[in-house]
Structure 1
Amino acid sequence: MTTDTPARLFQLLSLLQTPREWPGGELAERLGVSRRTVRRDVDRLRELGYPVQATKGSDGGYRLVAGKAMPPLVLDDEEAVAIAVGLRAGAGHAIEGVDEASVRALAKLEQVLPARLRHRVSTLQAATTPLTSGDGASVAPETLTVMASAIAGRERLRFAYRAGDGTATRRLTEPYRLVSTGRRWYLVAYDVDRADWRTFRVDRVNEPFATGARFDPRELPTGNAAEYLRQSMQRRQETYTFSVVFEAPAEVVAERLPAWLGAPEPLADGGCRLRATAGDTVEWLAVRLAMLGHPFTVQEPAELVECVRALGARLTRAADGDPRRA
């Protein structure tokens, strides 16, 4: 019998978070208490904001349903390890859709993981090799969680940084946001020593740590981290502007576009046009456009037009079953 009320409530909550209906008698047997105690404990959970629904019947039943707000979850050891491993794998390869919210979730989870579970997560990830991975540089999940925690806590962040030409520097920053482009992670931050805003490729960051010094957030010039990154990339010499017309509505295309590319412009015929700046190779952009799943026509630059044409021909040959010609 579980006589400690808080411990019993956690045990009850853990059972109810399994997606099924629990008969009152079975819950009472699992907890080693009376059905009356189960009813009182359910009322306590409701007072704490957990939407527990009761059903009538000979035995009655309880189940946790969706509410207006997200209540705290109670995870067992295996569930916590599984979630942490999944978040770390996704964050480390900058998979599109695994954005800053996922990194914040990972930071919160790893902060409260017991040492034994944190060790299991690290061991499992070190022993696992993914069959496929992104074509961008991988990032240590620990780097992302340190940054996410510093952003959430408004703490100054210090780290070593290696520029594209190999120059190594030490940076003291006020971190603002993490932005994923699908291939890479970027940190948008205010550089204290240079008294200006900067973007940093996270895969070039080493030894990040939060200094503990708090700061009042500054106003980002563009008001949006993804837009600031887009403009920052546009100012670099290695970027280029491209124009693509899609045979699909702007809102449909926008759902599958990375936010840093901006929003497509609706056209009178029901399609849309995207004019944006890219810093990746035209080969990667050609593949990325094809993966959107909508018919499109490249207007410029000529290098991208030729690359898309060559990619289409190569895929067509591969589909015809002649790998030597593909």
Structure 2
Amino acid sequence: MNKAQRLLHILMTMQAHRKFNLKELTEEFGVSKRTILRDLQELSELGVPLYSELGVHGGYQLLRERMLPPIHFSDKEAVALFLVAESLKGYPMLPFEAEVESALKKFYHYSPRETKEKIERLRSHVLFHVQERGLDTPHLTALLEASLEGRIVTITYESEKGISQRDIQPIGVYTASGLWYCPAYCFRSQDTRLFRADRITALAVSGDQSRRIDPAGFDIRDWVAGRPGEETAELVIHLSRAGVIRAKSDPMLADGLTVHEDGTGCVRRRAALSDLACLADTLLGYGAKAEVEAPEQLREMLLRRVQEIRELYADAGDGSF
């Protein structure tokens, strides 16, 4: 039995027995006490949660609540798992990033040579490109854990309006266009709000958890799809042929887009009022390729932005820039 096989069998033995000692392992595997100690050390470094007790009745124990049983994968399943991992590598930060990396290293280490070769070929032929933002999200895992456990956290948040501190109860996290977002119930606003994870500069678990809301009915997928309870407006945007081509790959405008026979198009859907400012910024880049018919609030936002730009460049022309 080679070392890899012995480590796997030791792990299976630990799963089958509540408690074990070095003598039992040396007798079962026919190796020295020193070899078993090295094997246990290596398993521990790989993340196997071992607990040791000293004394006559001591020994080793596997913390079962923290350890999954051995799982067997087919060759295609193993390759598929690494394909999923490759799709996430473009993100500079992920929830439980260290644990993901550790799990993949273990999986790759114990994969057969043929599987490893397929994985390496896969890496040479498949690329999931994610737009690089260069923004850190150090509190991403903490936000996700808070949403899973229904905890209130106190955050320091930096927005265009300034820096604020508030208590929130995260609903979850999601990613779009290379950025991470966290919808959460904000106790200061007494309503759900959307926060950019990279704009959270500090986070701590709140000492007062008595205000926690009932998480029942809060699902991150439902929130992203429709943001239940949020006020919306009818969105109507007419697009030129060039605008349609651009809008097809624009997540802000592709939803609700209808293309006419002549190549022009129209975006018609409900839009959250909180999204209008972001829409206005996006539409500025379209210039005359997009014309907003409704809502009136969005038209006014665009006019204000155009006027601000006109005034900025007018000042620059006067030499006062």
Normalized against structure 2, the TM-score is what? 0.43
Flag the structure with larger Rg.
2
